[in-house]
Structure 1
Amino acid sequence: MLKKKLIPHNWIIILIWNILLISCDSPDTKKERYLLKGNEKLKENDTKSAIDFYGEALKIDPDFRDALFNRGLVMYQLNRLENAISDFSSILRTNPVDTLALFQRGVTYMDNGEFYKALEDSKTLIRNNPESWRSHFLEGLVLEQIKNYQESLTSFEKALELFPDNPEVLVNQATIFYYLKDFEKAEVGLKKAEKLDPTEANIFNLRSMIAFDRGELDIALTMINKAIALNSNQAYFYNNRGLYLIFENELEKGLEDINYSLKQNPKNLFAFRNKGIYHYFKNEKELALRYLTEVFEKDPDMELVKDYLEKTNNL
């Protein structure tokens, strides 16, 4: 015969009290508790559970701003850009001038290739919050993407007037100087940014690009490896390293990096270009033409594309 376990009387009181507390929770208390649980899971890098808890909070209150915003950020990090846009848009339906939601939606639109929607969000930010550096920064980022470099520089200059010691803006301004082939001005901005934040990975990524353009492959690889050591989650860094490795004749290592980058960001035309260059070096004419032609049709001014299309046609 099994011995029955007895629960002490005071334990029963505690259990009943806890049940009563839970049952008396208001909807606001419950949704806040789910939000906190989601935030804790996010700290643990458990994004799936974080999304689930934010979802539970939103079942209670579909307009719960903090849950929508945090879930949107997680979706953005996971490259689920349509989901992120949906969450930020839900916030903006309730509050059209929520500056953080507008900024994040603009960035997400931009990364999703919806440049003119991103530009519209930046214009809305500037109209409603002209004294915020972020408003002008977002505008500069989008103008950079549509290759309006001079106007992009103007936007970054306005952002720096409002926040002069901002390494993020300085790096992006230096990137425009890089595109304009003014490497000296780019280096000046990067030096200032590094003094402000020596852990900013994009500084070393841009230095790698400048070194590659100068034909300094060893320096390019050193710089891009430093960038990856500082931020191992950036798909563009792996793509750049893949290109440098190809030019170092480490073709398979280069392809591995490029494929990894594409897995993280399947819309990156630079990665398709680099795959075309890889196939050129492998003497695989048909595959090289397939990738390079696709990129050329979408962005005929991209560096290296036209050169390698001609070289591939001559194989």
Structure 2
Amino acid sequence: MKRISIWSLMVAMILFACDSIEDKKGRFLLKGNEKLEENDPKSAIGFYEESLKLDSTYADAYFNKAIAQLRINQLENAIADFSKAIQYKTDYTEAYFQRGLTYLDNGEFYKAREDAEWMKENAKEDWKSFFLAGLVQEKFKNFDEALLAFKKASSLDPENSDLLVNQATILYYQKDLESATETLVQAESINPFEPNLHNLKSMIAFDQGNYEQALESVEKAIDLNNRQAYFYNNKGLYFLYLGKIEEGLDLINQSLRMDPNNPYALRNKGIYYVLMGDKISAMQYLEELHNKYPDMDLVEEYYQKAQKL
């Protein structure tokens, strides 16, 4: 038995030694992909790095490594690896798309715009080209251009409900609540399980003064995706308006623990302190927001109320 085991091991070693570099690097890539599917991005990165040791120009390994880095919020590293993927595969459209999205998340809007322009020039029939362009224009508050880009994306992928939700979001920013609602009806007919759809429905209901409906819609959003900080923040705001002050504060604080830099959650905390009659605490939040984001909904109203306490 011992001789058979040793012989089997020797055969396996010989076969492995005969593997080409292409086979070996591909095997590491697949192992990394398996770890990524198991939600173990750190182990996945290790396998992708082993693949890159065998071939430092392996574009797919750089791309997948970047995706794993996004899972652990390493935006700068992800951008660097998407760029490497593009360096070694100059027509890597998906790498341009993902890098553009990551630039947006990292606050590098002009660089994201460059990737969107490349995609619009080189991948005219890909809805992602115009989706990215729309997101960029949204960041620059060029809402008319953003809406046109999202509509173009929808024309290329009519069954994509997310693109309709993006259109509705722009219409909401433009205060065209009727058109935004009509667009959400279209989106819901395609996919009623899109959480952002229900969150936006809640925001429209809130603006219309229907706080109970707003609460019902945002709770649907949370049921569908319980990992979005801004859903909890919106629910907290609706509780404040429904008189459930402390419950509202708990949700706003939960949202801030998930995303400490959300100015809307900081605004809502200021609103809480106005409702509690605590001028000093309210001004700590609202004065800075009034200076930085004077056009943010409710900031001016509650800043004035705080001053009068």
Give the TM-score taking structure 2 as reference length: 0.90
Separation (CA, whole Å) in 1 of partners of 2:235 and 2:129: 32
1:212 and 2:229 are equivalent in the alignment: no
Q: 1:62 aligns with which of 53, 56, 75?
A: 56
Whichever residue aligns with residue 301 of structure 1, its letter is: D
Report the Cα distance in structure 1 between the residues aligned to 2:65 and 2:261, rounded to whole angstroms: 22
Q: How far does the alpha carbon of each residue in 1:158-206 deviate from its partner, in whole angstroms, 9 at most, with x for none?
A: 2222223321111100111111221221111111111111221111011
Structure-1 residue corresponding to 2:182:
188
Q: 1:61–1:240: structure 2 CA closer, same or farther, 3 Å change rule?
A: farther
| C-alpha distance in 2 between matches for 1:71 and 1:275 | 38
Aligned match of 1:31 in 25, 33, 47? Answer: 25
AA partner of residue 290 (structure 1): Q
- Does the CA contact (< 8 Å) of 2:59 and 2:89 recur in 1? no
Paired amino acid for 2:307: N
The question of 1:11 aligning with 2:43 is answered no
Name the aligned partner's letter for residue 88 of structure 2.
T
Structure 1 residues 193 and 22: CA distance shift in structure 2, 3 A? same
1:24 and 1:284 map into 2 onto residues whose CA distance is 75
Structure 1 contact 72–83 (Cα < 8 Å) conserved: yes
Preserved CA contact (<8 Å) 1:126 1:136:
yes
Match of 1:177 among 164, 167, 171: 171
1:285 aligns with 2:279: yes
Q: Secondary structure at the match of 2:162?
A: helix
Q: CA deviation at 1:233?
A: 2.4
8 Å CA contact 2:58–2:88 kept in 1: the answer is: no
Q: Does 1:203 align with 2:197?
A: yes
One-letter amino acid matched to 1:106 = G
Q: CA shift at 1:90, angstroms?
A: 1.8
Contact 1:79 1:265 survives alignment (8 Å): no
Partner of 2:107, secondary structure, is: coil
Distance 1:12 1:144, change over 3 A: same
- Quick one: which amino acid aligns to residue 190 of structure 1? L
**Which of these residues, 232, 235, 254, is aligned with residue 238 of structure 1?**
232
Shift of 1:68: 2.0
Root-mean-square deviation over aligned CA pairs: 2.2
Separation (CA, whole Å) in 1 of partners of 2:212 and 2:162: 26
Contact 1:170 1:193 (8 Å CA) reproduced: yes
After TM superposition, where is structure 1 displaced by more than 4 Å over at least 4 residues in a row?
Answer: none
Q: Judging changes above 3 Å, is the alpha-carbon distance between structure 1 residues 101 and 173 closer, same or farther for their aligned structure 2 residues?
A: same
1:221 to 204, 210, 215: 215
CA distance in 1, matches of 2:49, 2:125: 34
2:301 to 277, 293, 307: 307
Q: Which runs of 5+ in 1 are unaligned?
A: 1-6
Q: Could you tell me which residue of structure 2 aligns to residue 94 of structure 1?
A: 88
Alignment CA distance shift 1:129-1:308 (3 Å): same
| Preserved CA contact (<8 Å) 1:208 1:220 | yes
Tell me the TM-score normalised to structure 1 length. Answer: 0.89
Other-structure match for 1:250: 244
Percent identity over paired residues: 50
Give the residue type in structure 1 aligned to 2:146.
S
Q: How many residues align?
A: 309
Checking the alignment, whether the CA contact within 8 Å between 1:79 and 1:264 is kept in structure 2 is no
Q: Which residue matches 1:142? A: 136
Q: In 2, distance between residues paired with 1:18 and 1:252?
A: 65
Structure 2 SS opposite 1:57: helix
Q: AA paired with 1:140?
A: G
